[in-house]
A and B are shown apart, each in its own frame.
Chain A
Amino acid sequence: MTVTEDRVQASGHSATDREVGKSRKRKEDLRLLTGRTTWTDNHSLPGMLHMAILRSPVAHAKITNVDVSGALDRPGVIAAFSGQDFAEEQGVIPCAWPVTPDMVNPGHPSIAVGQVNHVGEAVAIVLARTKAAAQDALEAIDVDYEALPVVLDMEETVKDGADLVHSHTESNTSFRWVFDAGEAGTGTSTDEAFSGAEVTVSRRFIQQRLIPAFMEPRSSLADFQGEGVTLWSATQVPHILRLMIALSLGIPEHKVRVIAPDVGGGFGGKLQVTPEEFLVILASRRVGKPVKYTESRSESLLSAHHGRDQIQYIDIAAKRDGTVTGLRVRLLADMGAYLRLVSPGVPILGAFMYPAIYKFPAYNFTCDGVFTNKTPTDAYRGAGRPEATFAIERIMDELAAELDMDPMELRRKNWITHEEFPFTTVAGLTYDSGNYEAATDKALEMFGWDDLRAEQQQRRDAGDPIQLGLGISTFTEMCGLAPSRVLGSLSYGAGGWETASIRMLPSGKVEVVTGSSPHGQGHDTAWSQIVADQLGVGFDDVEVLHGDTASSPRGLDSYGSRSLVVGGIAVVKAAEKVVAKARKIAAHLLEANEDDLDFKDGSFSVRGTPDTKIGIQETALAVFAAHNYPEGIEPSLDSEATFDPVNFSFPHGTHLCATEVDTETGRVTIRKYVCVDDVGELVNPLIVEGQVHGGLAQGIAQAMFEEAVYDAEGNLTTGTFVDYTIPSATDLPHFDTANTVTASTTNPLGVKGVGEAGCIASTPAVVNAVVDAVRHRGVNDVQMPMTPERVWRALQGDQDSERAAEGTNAYGGATTEDEKLLDTGGPS
């Protein structure tokens, strides 16, 4: 079991009034909730023009002509451009994650020149004095398209002779990425495990395409002046964006300033360098005026990147007693029409998580990234890990059914026990800490497992039309992206460190500058709690600054549950430097030896004569005056620190779900949801609970509600919230949440990260519960989202249930022939 005692405790506050651990209400909420805040769209500049984008109505076509002249005659219109007008200067939308050396990147223009490859791709833009004028003028632009065959079905696109999305490539496959435990030396290869297996179970799971659907639509405002540009943008990644603008558009990096003001949600959907951001910059440079673009919700659903969209072929091998002996995973991952910032890396992040909490001796993973004529995919809350967690947790239940074993017993038999940490998995990750038994026992108790099982039996015996099912997800994930060296070994284009700096102001107040860029998580509050403890100052004495590359020049931003685990630790390190320097100055002022000083409750005191003391805030004033300070020390109390983690952190937990399934209508109702998450130490339990709730909502949404559906022509048929059915609070159950605390050993706060946990864990718990409810009726899978019709069809024994939505052929379904092929060689 991992011990926590040797972790560095914050020195500034005595244990009793530590800020860390308090359920502080969030500092930033008054501003965010009342809307008196700085959303990008709230910004206006003198002379600013509004941009509207004409988007392709067809999925795949050659553009034979674009005539924007009609738009120029419309009132209020200043300029209109086609892709051709920027052909020489538009750069490419960057992909920073070439996962293999021979990965095919067809190039992603900001605005189409000559060809469109998905519905919603930008074709022309209008700049006008008002947004309405710009929007209205789009109608006056003429575009001639010459249709090309539309490529949608992943299993079809990888076949020989398939129509190509990009005619200049040889196939629709962008890359094949392989991990084999035998070759990596982290375990054995799977061939033997499967050929000699007592039991094997195989499944084909669909990770349907999802839309991040953040609350604030994307918005950018560019002001190009002289040689440089200032860009306000609703982005998760101002620092990455700045660098990419410099590299891709050739504007010197020091002439680019990116400001991410308050940002209203992202979920990975704003971890991107977008065509829209490039277009406002190009347009502003061309016309010499500030240019703003704010998307409508319909544009957002259509053209902001989507997530998930994988077909998973997973095989598990085991002994009759339930001991797992091998795991083989093959993925088809839909990149959409282009590669965006980290599109190829998303399924690869999942590669390491399929073995999850189980002790598999053998593992093999293959992923083919493929192109289709759809909106590009990229990170969405969990990015790769929800998909992996779903597949492993689902197949564990299927294996349990095959072995006629209790699904929890099967998990207990195979998971890493708490004495076994640190544990290196067959995927090569070293889990530093965890206690799956503790979280599970607590969850089972909260859930009332035995009573629910008894009720399930009663309902079965009585032939009740409403059947009850119980679902488990004992998950772990890797977060805190990431150790820079590991990212390097995965060919990612950057590191994973984070920076923070602290400025002690003359009055003793504190400014914290973080490279992490919040978009709703509550950094201001959590960072203030951390700094209050470290420096022994008041929570309200701390101000957190972020999101402006002019004031926070270094950073790698927020995604992958990294803010606290990497960015928060950088804050701790910066605070330690401030205290170390203040100690020297305090010693000088107190005429004592610095080794004789204690630092407690924000004061340095001389050991033995506790009344001889000076506060760190007073020290700051003395430093400002600079009348009296030691030789060889600069008169300032500022610091900067960069933290590069040595490992990921591995939150885990046990989620239990009970669902009622109406067998006559297929309707699913969640009766009870319990989750016990172990995210390490809690800096702010209220924020943790909020993150878990939001994550659960999105994970349950994947299980039951959401899917981005394309019709046979490649039109997004779920283009509004009427059809892209995100659930609201009334569609979700009460959540019983709790925590166990097994501290992370790889950072001084013992924290693990919580941003994605709920979203990663919940989806399989819900699907397992539904399948459990109707397994006695011969159902062993229901494709997500489990709409009432799909569940009903599964109950009718309808194998074609995935085609419930009419007019979609996105996951056409492998024929038996194909499945045989895949069994031997994986998708090709």
Chain B
Amino acid sequence: MRRIGGACMKPPVFGYAAPRSAEEALALLSELGYDGKVLAGGQSLIPLLSMRLTAPHTLVDINRIPGLADIVIVEDGSVVVGALVRHAELLADAPAYAALPLLRRATSNVAHPAIRNRGTTCGSIAHADPSGEMTAILALTGGSVQIATSGAENRDVAASEFFLGPLESCLGPGELAVSVRFGAAEPRSGSAFLELARRRGDYAMCGAAVMVTVDEDETVTGVRAAYLSVGPVPAVHDLTAAVAGQHVGSADWGAAGELAATLVEPDGDLHASSDYRRRLVAVLTERALPQAAAEASSRSQEAA
């Protein structure tokens, strides 16, 4: 293990290890406990180090571990994304898009191309930023995180259990998220993603990922939404009550938006106050739902 802290470093001194296998990585992580920190794409961790907001004893770089870079479409339609799949790879992956179009719709809003080339989808979920796009998608699709520890079976933690607070997940010391699984889209469902950021590539002031499900008659049977930047953890809200039983062509999406606005409890910051964020929740919901509904009804027609 090397200590790094050269002639021209912004971060505090840290140790560095680059294990070549998952077993080696897990052994090292469990040995290090709280002193170890997984380094994936580094797009969140390195800025924190450079600003000296964190000072881990040792970084365990997982980039040289084989077998973690696969995207697998499971038979039930869920999509499993390995720990070293970069945002850009998920964005470009045609089978993943076909299985779960929301993945691409959301990933295209994550940061800038350069950051997407390096940053990992898994890493952004491990980072548990409630402003992140992929955390919201994981929550909305009812996905889960596959967690490995040395000398134990992998555990599978549902999104609803995984996120504990801003930048806080249930990942403990010694643990590695080996993959994340995004839940399958329901039949006769459609999705949409909209967000508003100060600049392109910024974390959004507010974003909405929505799913609409219809029946054979194109009547709305389910509406669920997950929001970015409006709470401590990505939360899923069921908005079905506002439009249940209405036909997709004439549903009162505005009412669903207003319902959503009453369910969220956003904080304010420099870029957007809580009032404004609440309003964005309503507007983005009202705009995203008809898009999702249109997809749901065309799926429904295909199914018929």
**Which of A's residues lie within 8 Å of B, judged by CB?**
130-132, 135-136, 296, 298, 664-667, 705, 709, 717-718, 720, 722-723, 725, 727-728, 730-731, 787-789, 792-793, 804-807
Whether the pair B5, A132 counts as a contact (CB closer than 8 A) is yes
Taking CB as reference atom, which chain B residue is nearest A666?
A: B276
B172 at the interface (CB under 8 A from A): no
Given the contacts A130-B7, A725-B199, A789 and B283 also touching, CB distance less than 8 Å: no
Whether the pair B8, A130 counts as a contact (CB closer than 8 A) is yes
Taking CB as reference atom, which chain A residue is nearest B206?
A: A665
6 additional A-B residue pairs with CB within 8 Å, beyond A132-B8, A665-B284, A730-B199: A665-B280, A723-B271, A789-B205, A789-B271, A793-B276, A806-B270
**Which of B's residues lie within 8 Å of A, judged by CB?**
5-10, 12-13, 51, 196, 198-202, 205, 268-273, 276, 279-280, 283-284
Whether the pair B200, A730 counts as a contact (CB closer than 8 A) is yes
Q: Can you name 19 A-B residue pairings with CB atoms under 8 Å? A: A131-B7, A131-B8, A132-B5, A132-B8, A132-B13, A135-B10, A136-B12, A298-B51, A725-B199, A725-B202, A728-B199, A728-B200, A730-B200, A731-B199, A787-B272, A788-B196, A788-B276, A789-B205, A789-B273
User: How many A-B contacts if CB must be within 8 Å?
Assistant: 72
Measured in the bound complex, the distance between the Cα atoms of B248 and A77 in whole Å is: 70
Nearest Cβ distance between residue B200 and chain A, in whole angstroms? 4
Residues from chain B with a CB closer than 8 A to the CB of A709 are 270
Residues from chain B with a CB closer than 8 A to the CB of A130 are 6-8
Partner of A804, one of B9, B273, B279, B283: B273
Taking CB as reference atom, which chain B residue is nearest A727?
A: B199
Whether the pair B268, A806 counts as a contact (CB closer than 8 A) is yes
Residues from chain B with a CB closer than 8 A to the CB of A296 are 10
Taking CB as reference atom, which chain B residue is nearest A798?
A: B275
Nearest Cβ distance between residue B191 and chain A, in whole angstroms? 21
Given the contacts A664-B283, A725-B202, A132 and B7 also touching, CB distance less than 8 Å: yes
Helix, strand, loop or mixed for chain B's interface? Answer: loop
Given the contacts A132-B7, A728-B200, A787-B198, A806 and B283 also touching, CB distance less than 8 Å: no
Residues from chain B with a CB closer than 8 A to the CB of A666 are 276
Measured in the bound complex, the distance between the Cα atoms of B205 and A805 in whole Å is: 13
Measured in the bound complex, the distance between the Cα atoms of B51 and A132 in whole Å is: 13
Residues from chain B with a CB closer than 8 A to the CB of A805 are 270-271
Measured in the bound complex, the distance between the Cα atoms of B5 and A665 in whole Å is: 46
Whether the pair B270, A807 counts as a contact (CB closer than 8 A) is yes
Nearest Cβ distance between residue B196 and chain A, in whole angstroms? 6
Taking CB as reference atom, which chain B residue is nearest A807?
A: B270
Measured in the bound complex, the distance between the Cα atoms of B143 and A691 in whole Å is: 50
Residues from chain A with a CB closer than 8 A to the CB of B268 are 806
Nearest Cβ distance between residue B287 and chain A, in whole angstroms? 8
Residues from chain A with a CB closer than 8 A to the CB of B279 are 665, 792
Residues from chain A with a CB closer than 8 A to the CB of B9 are 131-132
Interface-central residue, A131, A298, A666, A806, by most chain B CB under 10 Å: A806
Taking CB as reference atom, which chain A residue is nearest B276?
A: A789
Nearest Cβ distance between residue A57 and chain B, in whole angstroms? 13
Residues from chain A with a CB closer than 8 A to the CB of B283 are 664-665
Whether the pair A718, B273 counts as a contact (CB closer than 8 A) is no
Residues from chain A with a CB closer than 8 A to the CB of B10 are 135, 296
Measured in the bound complex, the distance between the Cα atoms of B275 and A788 in whole Å is: 13
Whether the pair A789, B272 counts as a contact (CB closer than 8 A) is yes
Taking CB as reference atom, which chain A residue is nearest B4?
A: A132
Measured in the bound complex, the distance between the Cα atoms of B48 and A720 in whole Å is: 12
Measured in the bound complex, the distance between the Cα atoms of B53 and A298 in whole Å is: 13
Given the contacts A130-B7, A132-B13, A788-B205, A718 and B270 also touching, CB distance less than 8 Å: yes
Measured in the bound complex, the distance between the Cα atoms of B269 and A705 in whole Å is: 16
Residues from chain B with a CB closer than 8 A to the CB of A787 are 198, 271-272
Measured in the bound complex, the distance between the Cα atoms of B86 and A160 in whole Å is: 60
Taking CB as reference atom, which chain B residue is nearest A720?
A: B51
Residues from chain A with a CB closer than 8 A to the CB of B269 are 806
Residues from chain B with a CB closer than 8 A to the CB of A136 are 12-13
Given the contacts A132-B13, A789-B273, A705 and B7 also touching, CB distance less than 8 Å: no
Residues from chain A with a CB closer than 8 A to the CB of B270 are 709, 717-718, 723, 805-807
Whether the pair A730, B273 counts as a contact (CB closer than 8 A) is no
Nearest Cβ distance between residue B91 and chain A, in whole angstroms? 16
Measured in the bound complex, the distance between the Cα atoms of B8 and A296 in whole Å is: 11
Measured in the bound complex, the distance between the Cα atoms of B205 and A591 in whole Å is: 80
Measured in the bound complex, the distance between the Cα atoms of B274 and A807 in whole Å is: 13
Measured in the bound complex, the distance between the Cα atoms of B279 and A667 in whole Å is: 13
Nearest Cβ distance between residue B51 and chain A, in whole angstroms? 7
Residues from chain A with a CB closer than 8 A to the CB of B196 are 665, 667, 788
Residues from chain B with a CB closer than 8 A to the CB of A807 are 270
Nearest Cβ distance between residue A92 and chain B, in whole angstroms? 32
Nearest Cβ distance between residue B197 and chain A, in whole angstroms? 9
Measured in the bound complex, the distance between the Cα atoms of B200 and A298 in whole Å is: 22
Nearest Cβ distance between residue A798 and chain B, in whole angstroms? 10
Question: 7 closest Cβ contacts across the A-B interface?
Answer: A730-B200, A789-B276, A132-B9, A130-B7, A664-B283, A806-B268, A731-B199
Nearest Cβ distance between residue B39 and chain A, in whole angstroms? 19
Given the contacts A132-B6, A132-B8, A132-B9, A792 and B276 also touching, CB distance less than 8 Å: yes
Residues from chain A with a CB closer than 8 A to the CB of B7 are 130-132
Interface-central residue, B198, B268, B272, by most chain A CB under 10 Å: B198
Nearest Cβ distance between residue B12 and chain A, in whole angstroms? 7
Nearest Cβ distance between residue A515 and chain B, in whole angstroms? 34
Taking CB as reference atom, which chain A residue is nearest B282?
A: A664
Whether the pair B200, A731 counts as a contact (CB closer than 8 A) is yes
Nearest Cβ distance between residue B21 and chain A, in whole angstroms? 32
Residues from chain B with a CB closer than 8 A to the CB of A705 are 198-199
Measured in the bound complex, the distance between the Cα atoms of B279 and A130 in whole Å is: 51
Measured in the bound complex, the distance between the Cα atoms of B114 and A728 in whole Å is: 14
Measured in the bound complex, the distance between the Cα atoms of B51 and A298 in whole Å is: 9
Nearest Cβ distance between residue B278 and chain A, in whole angstroms? 12
Residues from chain B with a CB closer than 8 A to the CB of A788 are 196, 198, 205, 272, 276
Interface-central residue, A132, A717, A720, by most chain B CB under 10 Å: A132
Measured in the bound complex, the distance between the Cα atoms of B10 and A296 in whole Å is: 8
Measured in the bound complex, the distance between the Cα atoms of B208 and A653 in whole Å is: 43
Measured in the bound complex, the distance between the Cα atoms of B162 and A336 in whole Å is: 47
Residues from chain B with a CB closer than 8 A to the CB of A804 are 273, 276
Measured in the bound complex, the distance between the Cα atoms of B276 and A537 in whole Å is: 64
Residues from chain A with a CB closer than 8 A to the CB of B198 are 705, 725, 787-788
Interface-central residue, B196, B271, B284, by most chain A CB under 10 Å: B271
Residues from chain B with a CB closer than 8 A to the CB of A664 are 283
Measured in the bound complex, the distance between the Cα atoms of B280 and A793 in whole Å is: 12
Taking CB as reference atom, which chain B residue is nearest A805?
A: B270
Taking CB as reference atom, which chain B residue is nearest A130?
A: B7
Residues from chain B with a CB closer than 8 A to the CB of A731 are 199-200
Nearest Cβ distance between residue B2 and chain A, in whole angstroms? 15
Measured in the bound complex, the distance between the Cα atoms of B6 and A131 in whole Å is: 9
Nearest Cβ distance between residue B100 and chain A, in whole angstroms? 26
Taking CB as reference atom, which chain B residue is nearest A803?
A: B273
Measured in the bound complex, the distance between the Cα atoms of B203 and A723 in whole Å is: 11
Residues from chain A with a CB closer than 8 A to the CB of B5 are 132
Nearest Cβ distance between residue B161 and chain A, in whole angstroms? 30
Measured in the bound complex, the distance between the Cα atoms of B201 and A725 in whole Å is: 11
Measured in the bound complex, the distance between the Cα atoms of B198 and A727 in whole Å is: 9
Taking CB as reference atom, which chain B residue is nearest A719?
A: B51
Measured in the bound complex, the distance between the Cα atoms of B201 and A533 in whole Å is: 47
Nearest Cβ distance between residue B109 and chain A, in whole angstroms? 13
Measured in the bound complex, the distance between the Cα atoms of B50 and A298 in whole Å is: 10
Residues from chain A with a CB closer than 8 A to the CB of B13 are 132, 136
Nearest Cβ distance between residue B273 and chain A, in whole angstroms? 6
Measured in the bound complex, the distance between the Cα atoms of B199 and A793 in whole Å is: 19
Residues from chain A with a CB closer than 8 A to the CB of B51 are 298, 720
Measured in the bound complex, the distance between the Cα atoms of B280 and A298 in whole Å is: 31
Taking CB as reference atom, which chain A residue is nearest B113?
A: A730
Nearest Cβ distance between residue B220 and chain A, in whole angstroms? 23
Interface-central residue, B5, B13, B276, B284, by most chain A CB under 10 Å: B276
Given the contacts A131-B7, A805-B270, A806-B270, A730 and B201 also touching, CB distance less than 8 Å: yes
Taking CB as reference atom, which chain A residue is nearest B274?
A: A806
Nearest Cβ distance between residue B192 and chain A, in whole angstroms? 16
